[in-house]
Amino acid sequence: DKEEVDEEEDVIDEEEVGIHPADEEIPEHVPFVLIGAGTASFAAYRAIKKEKPDAKVLIIGQEKYTPYMRPPLSKDLWYSDDPEAIKTLRYKNWSGKERSVFYENDEYYCKPSELMSKEEGAVAVLARTKVVEVNPRSHKIKLHNGKEIGYDKLLLATGGTPKSLKVFEEAGSDVKKRTTLYRSIANLQALDKVTKKAKSVAIIGGGFLGSELACALGHRGLKSGIDITQIFPEEGNMGRILPGYLSKWTTESVAKEGVNILPGCHVQDVKYKNKKVVLTLNSGKELEVDHVVLAVGLEANVELAKSARLEVDPELGGYRVNSELEARSDIWVAGDSACFYDVNLGRRRVEHHDHAVVSGKLAGKNMTGAKQSYWHQSMFWSDLGPKIGYEAIGLVDSSLPTIGVFAKATSQDTPKAAVEATGENIRSTTQEQGEESTQQAEETKEIVETTDIVKSSDESEEGSNEEFGKGVVFYMKDKRVVGIVLWNIFERMNIARKIIMSEEDQEDLNELAKHFNIHT
Ligand code: FAD
Ligand code: NAD
Ligand code: NAD
């Protein structure tokens, strides 16, 4: 059947096991072994190299690629004018700068077989390789092909696997073939292929991934005519993160990107009929589509817990680590798979890029003996098309009470303008980088006089015609601000970070909002 979609497997391809790499190429012992070839591992490698320039580092990953970043997979690559971008994985960002999803090109890494004979420090990537066991007593890991590698210091940065839904798990192979779980380059390229032929796609999930992909595919649909429908149980996009009024407003904006949105819905049944996937919703409505994307959350990869005898957090998932990100002697964890202790906000697991960078860096540093505890608050960002973008820090959970302070946006208050101004589309910031904007904003705060809208999450939403162009949303626990969303306001993260880390009671949030200087 030509219409069938052959989605490339990004996990182990049985036929290639043992071929890639040849068994004899695998070193017997490496001082620093990093499991997972994602952002957290790469950040750890950079930190190890900085602290110990002669270090030998082996990164082991299941995918066939060297470390790459995932954010462009649901954003930039879909908006590129270059029809080859999804193949080459290179794109121009909004400021015209040429970018690649890869941290380094292939030549940067040495062969695993040559790693230990290098005179200087070196890094190698063992791709298409799955680690199946960790033995902390003998300091050895076992690979899918039975080979073992000894380590001195080990990092687990295994990320997570997209969740599925029961009705899809139980559906037949015809439905499964037409369903994408989205995480990797292989998934991106498969979905690109599908959406060039399909006439209709349903995206299930209203969180980060579902909402970003809906905008991206909606954008493609405006040109190609493909129908994009987004289905989720919440009342609006990002309903678990944004306060109700803002989530609803966002949904209206996403609809303008060409997406047919069905909020308050879930899929009760799915079958394959007349060459279509037929979704039966809780309302009784039936929806026929050519393809489905499931974006219903992530489960941390903790398969190595049993052999390594590590504790998995029963509520949050992920390997439990101490404040130095160590799970037990000589084993550290970073990124999406780490459940860590945040001194400001308690135990957490964070599934965002900047956290992978910050925690990977700290773990790497500690693997060289630094013994530092976690203190830096990471941030995250999301763009819903070129006009809406937000950055956030701390606990941003729509079940907390919030106060939002908004002003009218101008054409300069878009993620596109922010990228043009800074040249940076990966809007991950560290403490040092933001220092300047903090000062600048604090100097000018006196000229801010009024804000247009002050909105509490428990206010009625009836009859509101308000425009939430740009603003700040504070998430509260009693009088403490525990989370902040910066809505179409960029380069103010350092001010937000200071507020979260101060742990002070805040009496006047309108006054606090002035620090962000949202009118300029
Ligand atoms: P990963 O990047 O998932 O890397 C883990 C790697 O480990 C994987 O390649 C996996 O195959 C491998 N692995 C797992 N188990 C084993 C094993 N046993 N043996 C060998 N290898 C193994 N965050 C933001 O803040 N902003 C964004 O805009 C944003 N956009 C995103 C867009 C998409 C499409 C996706 C999927 C995520 C996005 N994120 C974003 C989230 C961010 O990418 C993740 O938080 C980040 O990738 C986590 O990094 P990590 O290194 O912990 O895990
Ligand atoms: P998510 O946790 O953000 O959202 C999960 C969504 O799944 C919920 O909002 C809900 O709408 C939906 N859902 C849950 N149960 C459902 C059910 N039974 N039926 C229908 N819908 C249901 O996770 P995600 O959006 O799938 O994203 C996957 C991963 O990728 C996450 O780790 C996320 O943080 C990451 N990601 C992050 C960004 C970013 O930071 N900008 C962007 C893309 C992806
Ligand atoms: P660096 O260039 O190696 O790293 C700076 C960045 O690394 C930070 O912005 C953060 O992104 C990350 N990072 C570093 N240490 C971290 C930690 N313990 N937890 C989480 N992330 C961390 O420089 P550096 O020397 O590591 O850090 C800058 C200075 O700030 C250091 O002297 C550090 O000891 C100091 N510090 C600040 C605080 C604070 O609350 N602001 C607390 C403790 C230490």
Q: What is the pLDDT of residues 55-68, one digit of tens each?
A: 999 999 999 999 99
Q: What is the tens place of the pLDDT at every residue in 139-174?
A: 999 999 999 999 999 999 999 999 999 999 999 999
Ligand 1 atom at shortest distance from the alpha carbon of 381: 26
Per DSSP, the three-state class of 307 is helix
**pLDDT at position 276 over 90:** yes
pLDDT digit string, tens, across residues 445-492:
333 334 567 777 766 555 456 778 889 999 999 999 999 999 999 889
Note the pLDDT of residue 23: 58
Write down the pLDDT at residue 464.
53
Does residue 69 line the site of ligand 2, with CB under 6 A?
A: no
- Specify the pLDDT at position 437: 42
Q: For residue 44, what pLDDT band results from cuts at 50, 70 and 90?
A: very high
* Sequence-separated (6 or more) residues with CB below 8 Å from residue 497: 377, 379, 393, 431, 434
Count of CB atoms situated within 10 Å of the CB of 236? 24
Cα 513 from Cα 520, distance rounded (Å): 13
Task: Please give the pLDDT value at position 124.
Answer: 97
Residue 54 identity (one-letter amino acid): D
Q: In the predicted model, what is the mean pLDDT of residues 13-34? A: 70
**Do residues 237 and 468 lie in contact, with contact meaning Cβ atoms separated by under 8 Å?**
no
C-alpha 381 to ligand 3 mean position (Å)? 21
Residue 2: per-residue pLDDT: 42
Instruction: Kindly list the distances between the CA atom of residue 377 and the CA atoms of 45, 72, 394, 438, in Å, as whole numbers in the listed order.
Output: 21, 23, 7, 16
pLDDT at 18: 42
| Structure confidence at residue 439 as a pLDDT band (50, 70, 90) | very low
Q: Is pLDDT at 245 greater than 80 in this prediction?
A: yes
CA of 285 from ligand 3 middle (Å) equals: 53
Exposure string over 375-386, b if 16+ CB within 10 A, otherwise e:
ebbbbbbbbbbb
Coil, helix or strand at residue 165: coil
Label residue 435 by pLDDT band (50, 70, 90).
very low
**Residue 350 CA to ligand 2 centre (angstroms):** 13
Distance in angstroms (rounded) separating the CA atoms of residues 416 and 501? 29
Q: Is the CB of 375 under 6 A from ligand 3?
A: yes
Q: How far does residue 159's CA lie from ligand 1's centre (Å)?
A: 5
pLDDT in tens, 351-379: 999 999 999 999 999 999 999 999 899 99
Task: State the pLDDT at residue 449.
Answer: 36
Over range 281-303, report the average pLDDT: 97
**Would you say residue 291 has pLDDT above 80?**
yes
15-19, 261-265, 283-287, 319-323: segment of lowest average pLDDT: 15-19
Distance 238 CA to ligand 2 centre (A): 9
pTM recorded for the entire structure = 0.88
What is the C-alpha to C-alpha distance for residues 428 and 422, in angstroms, rounded to an integer?
Answer: 12
Q: What integer pLDDT is reported at residue 418 of this predicted model?
A: 74
Q: Tell me what ipTM this predicted complex has.
A: 0.87
Burial class (CB in 10 A: 0-12, 13-18, 19+), 24: exposed
pLDDT value, residue 68: 98
pLDDT score, position 414: 75
419 vs 392, residue with greater confidence = 392
| CB contact set of 221 (below 8 Å; sequence gap of 6+) | 227, 228, 258, 259
Average confidence score pLDDT of the chain:
89
What is the model's pLDDT at position 429? 56
- pLDDT, position 1: 42
Who has greater pLDDT, 120 or 407? 120
What percentage of the chain carries pLDDT values higher than 70?
88
Upstream peptide bond of 386 is cis (omega within 30 degrees of 0): no
Weakest mean pLDDT among 205-219, 261-275, 284-298, 449-463 = 449-463
Mutate to test the pocket of ligand 3, among 375, 379, 428, 500 (most ligand atoms within 8 A of CB): 375
List pLDDT tens digits, range 78-129.
998 888 999 999 998 777 889 999 999 999 999 999 999 999 999 999 999 9
Q: Which atom of ligand 1 is nearest to the CA of 383?
A: 28
Q: What are the residues facing 69 on neighbouring strands?
A: none
Supply the pLDDT for residue 5.
Answer: 45
Kindly list the protein residues whose Cβ atom lies closer than 6 A to any atom of ligand 1.
35-41, 60-63, 70-71, 73-74, 130-131, 157-159, 183, 209, 301, 335-337, 351-354, 356, 380-382
Higher pLDDT, 275 or 80: 275
